[in-house]
Amino acid sequence: MIYVTRKSHFNAAHRLHNPDKSDEWNRKTFGKCNNPNWHGHNYNLEVTVVGEADPETGYVIDLGVLNGIIEKKILDKCDHKNLNVEVPFLEGIIPTAENLVKAFFQELEDNINNESYGSSRLYSVKLFETERNVAEYCPNPRIS
Ligand code: NI
């Protein structure tokens, strides 16, 4: 299997807050990330597609095509936005890196699987919230 990755970048604001819990619980659990007036991150995103190289092109997926999908489905919607209130597909979730990678994967999956060669598939979505804090969603799709 060959793994192909496209790296992207976006900036966004968020707040970690569980509306079902008290303000005190939220402050204690999320600390600075619970700041009522939001805070920002410089996010780095890595989207990986797995498969075999197509015999005619040598590609698992055309990286220009992959970039176009990531721009349309994620970056156009999230870059310079408030993830809590401005992104319809994130509505109702606490925008931790964990929840974001899963939501991004689901948002990208169909388009990438349709546009990749042969049986190549979206493999994982990895999000660097900071240099040191990273979440990855990798449901290990079966390759037929
Ligand atoms: Ni944060």
Q: Among the options 9, 39, 52, 80, which is catalytic?
A: 80
80 is catalytic: yes
Report the Cα–Cα distance between both ends of the chain, in Å, rounded: 12
**Each residue of 34-71: pLDDT tens digit?**
999 999 999 999 999 999 999 999 999 999 999 999 99
CA of 95 to the centre of ligand 1 (A): 8
Helix (H) or strand (E) holding 126: strand 121-128
CA distance 92 to 130: 23
Q: Among the options 17, 41, 107, 129, which is catalytic?
A: 129
CA of 39 to the centre of ligand 1 (A): 6
Q: Which CATH architecture has domain 2-137?
A: 2-Layer Sandwich (3.30)
138 is catalytic: no
CA of 41 to the centre of ligand 1 (A): 6
Please report, for the chain, the start and end positions of each structural domain, with discontinuous segments joined by +.
2-137
46 is catalytic: no
CA of 119 to the centre of ligand 1 (A): 36
Residues 6+ positions from 84 with CB-CB distance below 8 Å:
13, 14, 15, 17, 38, 90, 95
**Each residue of 63-108: pLDDT tens digit?**
999 999 999 999 999 999 999 999 999 999 999 999 999 999 999 9
- pLDDT for the residue numbered 130: 96
Q: Among the options 14, 33, 41, 107, which is catalytic?
A: 33
- Hey, CA dihedral for 32, 35, 37, 42, is it positive or negative? positive
CA of 133 to the centre of ligand 1 (A): 10
